[in-house]
A and B are shown apart, each in its own frame.
Chain A
Amino acid sequence: MAAPKSRPRDGYPGRALALILVVTVGLVALMFGTGHKTPRLGIDLAGGTSITLTASSQDKAAINQANMNTAVGIIQKRVNAFGVSEAEVQTQGSDNIIVDIPKGTNSQQAAQQVGTTAKLYFRPVLAEAPSGVTLPPASPSAKPSTSGSASPSASGSASASAGGSASPSTGASAAGSPSGSPGSASPSASKAGKALSEGLLAADPSGTPSAGASGSPSASASGSPSAAQSSLPPVPTTPPVPTSPADISAALTQGTPPPDLAQQFAALDCSDPTQRKDYQGVDPTKNTVACSYDKEAGATGSGWYKFALGPVAVNGSDVSKAAAGFDTQHASGWQVQLTFNDAGSKAFATTTGALATQQSPANQFAIVLDGKVVSHPYVSQSISGNAVISGNFSQDDANNLANVLSFGALPLSFNQSNMTTVSPQLGGDQLHAGLLAGAIGLALVVLYSLIYYRGLGLVSIAGLVVSSILTYTIMCLLGAGIGFALNLPAVCGAIVAIGITADSFIVYFERIRDEVREGAQLRPAVQRAWPRARRTILVSDFVSLLCAVVLYICSVGKVQGFAFTLGLTTVLDVVVIFLFTKPLITLLARRKFFANGHPWSGLDPKRLGARPPVRGGRRRPATSAAVKEA
């Protein structure tokens, strides 16, 4: 069986070696040719911000591939709108979107925006009230209304019992000035600072709310907006001091919450963070409640308001364009100009038309973002086409709102489940530590192989080198090709894979040595050991690969990087052992140094305790195994 003439049995090791050499050189050439000489680094190594958004919907079927892809498109546009270049948005698993924003000046801000924006609706206001306020003692301290109008808060007993002086804020009156459409100017200007008009949608959240916030409940006893317009002088009456926030809310409620919401509306306390959530649910055709925060009012009171809202009138996805701009004409500050698409224009026109005929507060239009009312302007006439939202915006506020509006409503709502920001410097430190650990790990394995396997150790080193080159080039090319990014767990996987690769060599070497121990000559030993070693290697690599694939499919974020590297290196391990190690050993077995079992070859028959070659008899020593113990 150890016939030296068995050349075909040796196979053609030269061919296999040539093949892998060509492949390796080809890959390296491709890497240099395309200029992708380093792997793309993940956020945790290169620095930047990585956000994981998890889709949530009460309707599980809504979380599907199509909706996720739409969401990715929208988020991509949003992120790019922040001027972040090379931001990467991709789905991961069935319900996650990963947003990677490379290091950049405003990546933090972009992260916040991307992570917190989801659904945008325009809904009619049914009722509103301050929420969770602890009012300062009622003092009609507010300055008399410059615009001559009390807050057009109106309805019935509520406002009557809570009489006080209204105080539109200065910002409110400024915002009330129309810009660009004179026709609509006067009615809106007479309102307490909030108006929605053609070409002008004046939103000053501090308008109506300021009444409550300043501690002076609305004075208007009349339920009609026209009465409110008629410059009622504030009547300072002493309101009964409410004892609890709930009482205050009830007392200051404007409008009548619909019966199905009455209880929920009364119970809602927006000053309690746990209650401040998205109540919009899945069905946009239903009434709902929402919270709103008013910065200015927040300075004196709690600043929180609650709203009862009607069904969605216009969907945020119908906004085709929104831009922030400075209102130079009236110096009313930053505002957001809106353009609707056809459907949006129609719906908007219809709804504003209907709202304009309503009485306060039901003539307000709430812009609800993620369940929170960001703006609730008054409407005085039907508006189609363009609109402007103005208010107490800073430039940033206006820009952010414009971004949110432009890039529409997402088909799903998302929770920001994870956000990591890594500075480039710290990321670099991580990378260095990982590489250093890898280098030391590699050195230790090399050292161990050399000491234990001597000459054969060189083969394993060569194998590890080939494996490393292949892994590195493939990672570089995959980075360019499919956007594979090397993150920290991936580095970890690569380091762990050194062990896997070396394991395969050991399995083969030990098999060869077993054969030599049995008394076989080296060349036949190498051939005979191969099928058995091959099976072990394939079986165990298959288990590794299975693990990697399952991990990759059933995981998100960092785990995927790890699984990917593990899988890649396992496949490469098989390639290297078949096309490199085995042929190389076959060739080496022909050399005297190894064939004669030089003491430094690692295959010294004497050292291995080989029996004198007994042809035809492969004795199993196992017979005595059970007898002795050590």
Chain B
Amino acid sequence: MSRFSNLGHRLYQGEVSFDFVGRRKLWYSISAAIALAAVIGLTTVGLHLGIEFKGGSVYTIKKPGLTISQAQDSVDKIVGDSTPQVQATGDGQIRIQVSAGEKTPSNEVVQKLSSDLSVSQENINTEVVGPSWGQQVSQQALTGLVIFLILVTAYLAIAFEWRMALAALVALIHDLVITIGVYALVGFEVSPGTVIGFLTILGYSLYDTVVVFDTVKENTKGLEKQNKLTYSEAANAGLNQTLVRSINTTVVALLPVAALLFIGGGLLGAGTLNDISLALFIGLSAGAYSSICVATPLLAQLKEQAPDMRALAKRVALRRAADAKAAAKAAEDGTALDDADDESAEGPEDSVPVGMVGQRNQPVSRARGKGRPSGKH
């Protein structure tokens, strides 16, 4: 643990730094690959929708020693064909799904199951779902999603800036696509509980991103007043400083969810607890990854397009070149030159719009060196 603490310290001091922003192409490819897999999974395999979306009824029977085939025989007899699906849920319960096409009333099924299998009706749970229920739930979920996205984007655009809002939005959609893709590929059943989980991911994924962006924002405050760091570098530094915090918050968020998933779900088998926690578990992990590896690099990329940040990037490049030159010169003749004055003549056509933004807070001497075409980092 102390080594981990130490890592936190070294990360903070910049002694150890992971170049998240610089390697954005790598992250983008990884994300694109996962997203592609997700989309392929969605289009080819499709989501395995639970009975809530198709309509029908589910009976859960609790009786030790009851076998699947006994239950299957019994329910087949009751509904008169062999379409009902019978599964064991892993905790000694038997779950029977009867599709909406069957006409036997549910209370009749319960009575017959109860007498056939000699289980008291107390131990049979029933859920009857109209075929439009799932559609309604998902319709509302979708409405909620759209409203939330609009509101939260507006909020982030006001509280931070539009680029952060956009980057956060992309990261959010990224998380949703991945989570849904995992569901399609692995074939987990999608229930209304899963939809709840998906929706909660929204809040959580943004929570994570917001914490990181907050630090990035702080780290890049007044950035245009200096010429040592580009936006990307400052953002990356901020990311590294908050890395321990991000890891900790993610771990702490995942711990209860994992407890829900493995203990709650494990004890009860398929059910609401399992559905919500599984979606959350996948979504949270994706959210932690995306806030670090997708949202921030994307933000940096967007920011670097902004005129003032482009100007900054050039200044930084100039300064570094100058420093290098100065160092070389100093090595040569032992005198340190103050600044890169000789570069000022270059690229005047660039410097006009750029200068308008950059110059305000700049000491005159610093503003001179900008606009070098090769300076783009």
Binding site for B on A (CB under 8 A): 44, 52, 54, 93, 108-109, 112, 273, 415-426, 429-430, 433-434, 436-438, 440-442, 444-445, 448-449, 451-452, 488-489, 491-492, 495-496, 498-500, 502-503, 506-507, 510, 513-514, 517, 532, 535-536, 539-540, 542-544, 546-548, 550-551, 553-559, 562, 566, 607-609, 621-630
Contact = CB atoms under 8 A, between A and B. Distances in A.
B42 interface: no
Interface string B339-373: 00000000000000000000000000000000000
A273 B20 CA distance: 62
Given A418-B128, A437-B264, A499 B252 contact: yes
Contacts of A492: 196, 260, 272-273, 276-277
Contacts of B127: 418-421
Interface in B212-259: 214-215, 218-219, 228-230, 233-234, 236-238, 240-242, 244-245, 248-249, 251-259
Interface residues of B, number: 101
B293 interface: no
A510 B242 CA distance: 8
A556 B253 contact: no
A433 B273 contact: yes
A444 B130 contact: no
Nearest to B232: A626
Interface in B25-58: 52
A44 B58 CA distance: 14
A441 B203 contact: no
Residue with the greatest number of chain A CB neighbours at <10 A, chosen from B14, B244, B254: B14
Given A437-B267, A626-B19, 4 more contacts: A417-B129, A445-B256, A536-B210, A543-B203
B268 interface: yes
A308 B280 CA distance: 55
B259 A437 contact: yes
A419 B126 contact: yes
A496 B280 CA distance: 9
Contact of B207 (A415, A433, A540): A540
Given A492-B277, A607-B2, A622 B219 contact: yes
A624 B133 CA distance: 57
A438 to B, nearest CB: 7
Contact of B10 (A491, A513, A609): A609
B151 interface: yes
B214 A539 contact: yes
Contacts of A437: 256, 259-260, 263-264, 267, 273
B155 A543 contact: yes
B130 A550 contact: no
Interface string B1-27: 110111011101111111100100000
B301 interface: no
Contacts of A543: 152, 155, 203, 206-207, 210
B268 A547 contact: no
Given A417-B133, A423-B125, A609-B13, A448 B251 contact: yes
A562 B276 contact: yes
A52 B132 CA distance: 12
Given A426-B62, A625-B233, A489 B263 contact: no
A624 to B, nearest CB: 5
A445 B125 contact: no
Residue with the greatest number of chain A CB neighbours at <10 A, chosen from B12, B141, B159: B12
B50 to A, nearest CB: 12
B200 interface: yes
A415 B124 CA distance: 24
14 contacts: A418-B52, A421-B126, A423-B124, A426-B62, A434-B260, A452-B5, A495-B260, A503-B252, A517-B9, A542-B155, A546-B151, A547-B203, A557-B137, A626-B230
Contacts of A629: 17-19
Given A496-B200, A539-B214, A547-B202, A554 B1 contact: no
Contact of A546 (B1, B16, B155, B211): B155
Interface in B79-124: 103, 105-107, 110, 121-124
B193 interface: yes
B259 A625 contact: no
A108 B106 CA distance: 9
A498 B256 contact: yes
A554 B245 contact: no
A445 B236 contact: no
B330 interface: no
B227 to A, nearest CB: 12
Given A54-B132, A444-B256, A506 B245 contact: yes
A539 B264 CA distance: 31
7 nearest CB pairs, A to B: A441-B256, A547-B203, A499-B253, A554-B144, A441-B259, A437-B264, A625-B237
Contacts of A440: 259, 263
B195 A54 contact: no
Residue with the greatest number of chain A CB neighbours at <10 A, chosen from B107, B230, B255, B268: B255
A589 B63 CA distance: 57
Contact of B273 (A418, A434, A566): A434
A555 B273 contact: no
A566 B207 CA distance: 13
B254 to A, nearest CB: 7
B179 interface: no
A316 to B, nearest CB: 23
B137 A551 contact: no
